Amino acid sequence: DFTPPPAVDTVLLELKPRSEPLLSTLERDKYQSFVAKCYASQKVFATIPRAEAGINPERKPSELTPEEWVRLYKL
Within 10 angstroms of residue 26's Cβ, the number of other Cβ atoms is 8
Task: Identify residue 42 by its one-letter amino acid code.
Answer: Q
Residue 46 CA: distances (Å) to CA of 6, 57, 59, 65: 41, 8, 10, 17
Per residue in 16-70, pLDDT tens? 999 999 999 999 999 999 999 999 999 999 999 999 999 999 999 999 999 999 9
Query: Over 80: is that where the pLDDT of 15 sits?
Result: yes
Query: Over 90: is that where the pLDDT of 7 sits?
Result: no
Query: Over 80: is that where the pLDDT of 1 sits?
Result: no
What DSSP assignment string belongs to 2-41?
A: -SSPPSS----------SS-SS-GGGHHHHHHHHHHHHH-
Within 10 angstroms of residue 44's Cβ, the number of other Cβ atoms is 14
